[in-house]
Amino acid sequence: MNILEDMNPQQKEAVQYTRGPLLILAGAGSGKTRVLTHRIAYLIENGVKPYHIMAITFTNKAAQEMRDRVDQIVGFGSESIWVSTFHSSCVRILRRFIDRIGFLNSFTIYDTDDQKTLMKQVIKKLELDPKIYKERALMSAISSAKNEMISPEQFEKNAGLDWNKKKISQVYYEYQAELKKNNALDFDDLLVKTVELFKQCQDVLEYYQDRFQYLMVDEYQDTNTVQFQFINLLAAKNRNLCVVGDDDQSIYKFRGANIRNILEFEKSFPDAKVIKLEQNYRSTSNILDAANGVISNNKGRKEKKLWTENEKGAKITFRKFQNGFEEAEYVTGEISRKIRNGECRYGDIAILYRTNAQSRLFEEKLLIANIPYKIVGSVNFYARKEVKDLLSYLKTVDNASDDLAVQRIINVPKRGIGATTISRIQAHAAESGTNFYGALLEAQYIPGLSRSLSKIESFTTFIQKLRTQVQYYSVKELLEHIIEETGYVKKLEAEDTDEARARIENIDELISKVVTYEEEEESPTLSGFLQEVALVADIDSIDSDSDFCLLMTLHSAKGLEFPYVFMAGMEDGIFPSYMTITGDDPDELEEERRLCYVGITRAKKELVMTAASQRMIRGETQYNKVSRFVHEIPRELVELGREKDLDRDAFVNPRQRFSNNVSFKPRQFTVTRLEHLEYNVGDTVRHTKFGVGEVTDIADGGKDYEVTVHFDHAGVKKMFASFAKLKKI
């Protein structure tokens, strides 16, 4: 094939520039994936061995898409090219060399739920008040530190006389010590430990520098400090680094992304070549002009302007409603109308919003209208109780040092090993400096366990037997053996409820996942399967062939595209948020504007924006003005439902902004806070309207507890505990 065929001049230049640092500023829909894959093919055509090429992106979905395209274009030898995410790349490196920095190569990867469980244990061990030191806040502080390559020692030093930060540094020390004891890494550690490995072991770094002589990085605007260091270390020797990104789509500051990495690329590499891809192949001209009108208000950006040869297309539709109910009703009605008229499939439509809490009204209306939908960001399949239980068995077999996995399953299904027994085993483990499973093996020497000794020995014998079978059993056989021996499914079958049947279906799906993994992997292993499961993200589960509407936050929509997009909640106080508007940091507002730009450019054919005059937020009726981002769209591009929905004069200058003041109506009622809850996270509860579900989160909302429940049929709901009146089953 002709690699440069049907490419515009800028794309051709980017493909052919192969020596030295290169920054490709790729606007939304400008064909960056095509450029990257064809650049790889061009390198190989010009004598570069596939073995020496590495391409990194952020999501498994994006990596798989690139992998498929590379395989199709390159053909023979493409399997030698590393095409993967940052985390997957680091896992491959660490599986081989992490023993050089004090870990076992069979380390476990902790997901968010595992981290929360571990953090709760750390808070308890340090005797901190959980009402003051919440696990989410501590996890966020530690994650931010790791993203900036700040060690516990440096964190403590930076804390100075700040008493609160000193407490966090204690938690950081203990959290890392527990991870090390469990031979486990969290997601941030995957990168941090790889950078540590490179810095401490020069021979390992040189091995990978010689291996990856041509390095390409997608979505460079989303990189944080530790990712920046990882890339720079790999590229330092050969300097053939090509980064692709769009500063206008940098929206992950809250995850540690540093927009300076792309804005100051030429400072890090003074001899860098810069190529702009500004021709858009995705959207209509009106949609692009609207996006340009909004993003041009940002000051911290590299100058560029999207354009297209596509048709002008429909204007941006803006509708304003009295309240959120009317807004959701309108969107649902428009979807039904489009389907009735044969304009599109359900799968062509996305509803985007700023926060997850906004999904509730849309869910209710879509259910009533019998419109199939899926929420991106709802309870992850691998976070469901029955799936986590069985995965914990597999984790224990693979890495018995993982205390969280062992403690989760020691009494699942119930073996009569109670909380007192577990506490004594934990105390013995702490005193003897061993892990929890090691303490179980020494149970006969622990005082006060005589009644439970036979049950503990039965458990450890079962695990030891499984560990000897790993080399003879496939992962599927091992999982089925665990299910059979524990009687997990038989117990659910005996319950004979809708909930139990749904759980059995999830277990069947887990077995199917194992089979798929073993069929696709050349050398399948238990560690490999657990690694693949740990690195799955919500966005990776989206099937482009499935016919249902997608509901998601604007952050989740990054990288996706849809013929028809609804952007809901376009109000000052919602988007941008009230905190952003009233805050002192102008960078926060610029990031919100970039998020709006991302939302607009997801649309290919039609974009509808909606707002409500009043909206119920945390039990209060809130009155907001129309979002300033709507007013920044040139007036001639907008079609209004009613002229009075917007002040026409506000469109004279697209840069004109409304006042920062957001008015609120006084509360219409008071929330009566419950003193205590009869259920905890993980419990099964019943709601009078939504039926049976599992509690996935309980947060102290100040006025009352905010309970998040994943219902079997109604999906994810957030409710005040006093209103929900949930009954534990």
Q: Residue 499's domain is classified under what CATH number? A: 1.10.486.10
**Helix %, strand %, coil % for the chain, to 5?**
50, 15, 35
Is 30 marked within a binding site? yes
Number of domains comprising the chain? 5
Residue 311 included in any domain: no
Residue 655 included in any domain: no
Pair (399, 491) in one structural domain: yes
CATH number of the domain residue 130 falls in: 1.10.10.160
Pair (265, 323) in one structural domain: no
Catalytic residue among 10, 11, 32, 696: 32
Pair (514, 553) in one structural domain: no
Residue 112 included in any domain: yes
pLDDT for 7 equals 94
Catalytic residue among 12, 16, 18, 33: 33
Residue-wise DSSP of 510-550: HHHHHHHHHHH-SS--HHHHHHHHHT--GGGG--TTS-SEE
Pair (34, 129) in one structural domain: no
CATH number of the domain residue 358 falls in: 3.40.50.300
Q: Which of 119, 117, 107 is nearest to 143 (CA)?
A: 119
Pair (349, 485) in one structural domain: no
Last residue of a domain, which of 514, 535, 556? 535
pLDDT for 378 equals 58
Residue 675 included in any domain: no
Pair (489, 557) in one structural domain: no
Pair (497, 445) in one structural domain: yes
CB atoms within 10 A of CB 1: 9
Can the peptide bond before residue 576 be classed as cis, meaning omega within 30 degrees of 0?
yes
Residue 621 included in any domain: yes
pLDDT along the chain (729 residues), means of 10: 88 96 95 93 92 91 84 82 93 96 94 91 92 89 94 93 91 96 95 98 97 96 95 96 95 90 93 96 97 95 93 96 94 96 95 89 90 79 86 94 92 88 90 90 88 91 92 92 92 83 87 88 89 70 74 91 97 90 86 97 97 81 91 94 59 38 41 72 82 82 76 76 83
Q: Does residue 590 carry a catalytic annotation?
A: no
Q: Does residue 602 carry a catalytic annotation?
A: yes
Last residue of a domain, which of 510, 535, 560? 535
Residue 296 included in any domain: no
Is 31 marked within a binding site? yes
Catalytic residue among 188, 196, 218, 632: 218
Is 684 marked within a binding site? no
Is 693 marked within a binding site? no
Pair (565, 508) in one structural domain: no
**Which region holds residue 34: left if phi is over 0, alpha if psi is between -120 and 50, else beta?**
alpha
Q: Which H/E stretch holds residue 693?
A: strand 691-700
pLDDT for 690 equals 78
Which residue's structure tokens are 């008040």? 129
Residue 2 included in any domain: no
Is 26 marked within a binding site? yes
Pair (270, 407) in one structural domain: no
Is 296 marked within a binding site? no
- Residues whose CB is less than 8 angstroms from the CB of residue 71 and which lie 6 or more positions away in sequence, other chains included: 78, 79
Q: Does residue 249 carry a catalytic annotation?
A: yes
Angstrom CA distances, 218 to 12, 57, 85, 242, 246, stand at 18, 5, 10, 9, 10
Is 359 marked within a binding site? no
Last residue of a domain, which of 515, 535, 555? 535
Q: Does residue 32 carry a catalytic annotation?
A: yes
Pair (214, 351) in one structural domain: no
pTM of the model: 0.76
Catalytic residue among 111, 188, 189, 219: 219
Residue 201 included in any domain: yes
Pair (402, 496) in one structural domain: yes
Gyration radius of the chain's alpha carbons: 27
pLDDT for 669 equals 42
The half-sphere exposure of 684 on its side-chain side, counting CA atoms within 13 A, is 13
Task: Give me the domain span that covers residue 611.
Answer: 316-376+543-640
- Residues whose CB is less than 8 angstroms from the CB of residue 653 and which lie 6 or more positions away in sequence, other chains included: none
Pair (410, 494) in one structural domain: yes
